[in-house]
Each structure stands twice: as structure tokens, then as C-alpha cells.
Amino acid sequence: MLRLFVILISISFFSNAYGYELPNVKNAQRIIALSPHSVELLFALGVGDRIIGTTDFADFPEAAKDIERIGGYHGIQMERVLELKPDLVVAWQGGNSDEDINQLESLGLPVYRSATKRLKHIATEISVLGQLTGTSAKADALIKDLHSVLAALKNKNKDKPKVSFFYQLWSSPIRTISTGSWINEMMEICGGENIMQDPSVEYPQISLETVLLSAPQAIIIPSSHGHDNGKLSGLKWEDWPEIPAVKNNHIYRINGDILHRFSLRVIEATQTVCETFDQIRLVKH
């Protein structure tokens, strides 16, 4: 109970920080989830069947593909949302447009704003969703599991030699993640050291020269549909054997869907990253 209390306090603090109240919903049955990660988390809580509408890119788990689409990156079909009579809308601050979210609220719908910015916010969201859908016990179990796996990974890798890496978000222009990005948190857990240490911009555009000079041991390329896999108009790493990652062939592709979503699949993602770094350490020494 104490733990729940602590979590609730942290939630209220968190929600106040974002300037809104949680909707007064205890056991939502008709849910519209406006982000892929919220859909995944609701399925993890065992209430995926209560989702009656979602957005274009919600494709996991398999069952999510059958949910009706009521919007996407470019906006939400407000009229269809009203027609579906949801008793909870899980919006995505930063993913959905502010205008859309404000309109949903002014229409009197119970809206929860998922405002995930850091790795820890996944637990926050699970807890809130558990509360709103009456599945708090399940939520606690999931959070405990998430924390223990991540803590174990962190513990296991904390004394290993650091692996410097370059994360190739996009190749043309070259864009990467900085230490200010939440994706970097997973890399840090595994003992990775980002070559882009300036956290001021989360996803900066940098020059090839910067990559050359910082000589990363690993190049991580998130791969999924819509990503260019580093081949688009001329990033040929093989031309630059001066980079240790290229010389040792340490260019790894990791599924971007699991790396870039605030879902429980970050466990799998972090494990994959840690295994990748372990392989690099193995070859190095």
C-alpha cells in the first residue's frame, strides 16, 4: 500500500507539473488510445480489447492491427471520436497536436495526456493507465518487473568498459540522438557513451567530420519502415575505415520500433543494446 501511495503522490506531482488533472475515471471500458505506445501498454495491462479506436502506426501486438483507425500523425477525426462515445481518451502530448487535445477536452471527453519524455515515464504511464482502467494490481506487477530488469541490466553493465557509440537516426542529413534524449538512457544502462555529449538539442544534425573525430566504437542504426538504413544518398561507412566501428565492422541495426516507443518493449530493446555492446567488448579485448 505504501508503494501505491508513493506512486500516487508522484503521479499527482507529475500531473500538476503538466498543469492538468487526471480524468475522474475508475474502470474505463471504451478507450481511445492516440499513440502506439499507449496501445501497447493497455494490451500489457490486459485491457487491449477495450480499445475502440487508435491511430495509424499502432501495430503491436498483432491484435492491435484490428482496432479501428480514427487518426494519424496529421490529425484526429474528431467527429468519429465523438460517435464512438469513449469513456477515456489517452492522448499523446507531443505526438498529437495540442489543438486536437485541447478540443477533445473542451468537448467534455475524459482525456489523459500521456506526456512521456524520459524512460521513467513509462512506469508513470503504466501506473496511471492501471488506475484509470481498474487494473492497478497488474500495473504494479509490470512496473516492478520493468524496474527489476532495467536495474539488473544497469548493475550488470556498470563496471564494464564504456563503449562509445554513434546513433545514426538518419543519414541524409546526418541526425543523431544526444545525451539529452531518452533513447540515450537505454544506451547508458548498457555502458554506452554517446559521442554527442551536448544535451541541448535532443536530435541534432551533425557533420560526418564530427563522427570521424569522435571515433565511435559502435554505430547503431535503428531500422524499420520509413528509415533509410543509411543508404540514402551517400553515407558509405565503408569509405571511412578510420572509424573503429567501421574498421571492426561494428555497425548494428536494431529494430527502431522497440527502441523508439515508450512501451514495455524497451526491456527487449535495452537487452539487445546490451548484448550488442557485449559483442563489441568481446572483440575489442
Site string for another protein, 251-280 (x = CB under 8 A): ------------------------------
Instruction: Report the candidate in 57, 61, 72 with the shortest Cα–Cα distance to residue 224.
Output: 57
Residue 161 contacts another protein per CB under 8 A = no
61 or 94: CB nearest another protein: 94
* Residues 23, 48: Cα–Cα separation, whole Å: 19
Q: How far is CA 231 from the centre of its chain?
A: 25
User: CB 138 → another protein: shortest distance, Å?
Assistant: 31
Instruction: Report the candidate in 214, 284, 227, 222 with the shortest Cα–Cα distance to residue 251.
Output: 222
The residue type found at 82 is: L
* Residues 190, 164: Cα–Cα separation, whole Å: 11
User: CB 204 → another protein: shortest distance, Å?
Assistant: 5
User: CB 54 → another protein: shortest distance, Å?
Assistant: 16
Q: Are 183 and 210 in contact (CB under 8 A)?
A: no
Among 213, 249, 283, 284, binds another protein (CB under 8 A): 213
71: helix, strand or coil: strand
Among 18, 74, 159, 282, binds another protein (CB under 8 A): 74
User: CB 206 → another protein: shortest distance, Å?
Assistant: 6
Residue 26 contacts another protein per CB under 8 A = no
Q: Which stretch of DSSP H or E encloses residue 252?
A: strand 251-255
Among 208, 255, 267, 278, binds another protein (CB under 8 A): 208
Instruction: Report the candidate in 242, 261, 102, 78 with the shortest Cα–Cα distance to residue 183.
Output: 261
- The stretch near another protein (CB under 8 A) out of 132-140, 180-188, 196-204, 267-275 is 196-204
- The stretch near another protein (CB under 8 A) out of 35-43, 102-110, 117-125, 207-215 is 207-215
Residue 210 contacts another protein per CB under 8 A = yes
37 or 50: CB nearest another protein: 37
Among 206, 218, 221, 246, binds another protein (CB under 8 A): 206
Among 242, 275, 283, 284, binds another protein (CB under 8 A): 242
16 or 205: CB nearest another protein: 205
Write the CA distances from 86 to 51, 52, 75, 81, 111, integer angstroms: 9, 8, 18, 7, 10
Q: Are 118 and 182 in contact (CB under 8 A)?
A: yes
* Residues 175, 107: Cα–Cα separation, whole Å: 39
List of residues contacting another protein (CB under 8 A): 57, 73-74, 170, 172-175, 196, 198, 201, 204-210, 212-213, 225-229, 231-236, 239-240, 242
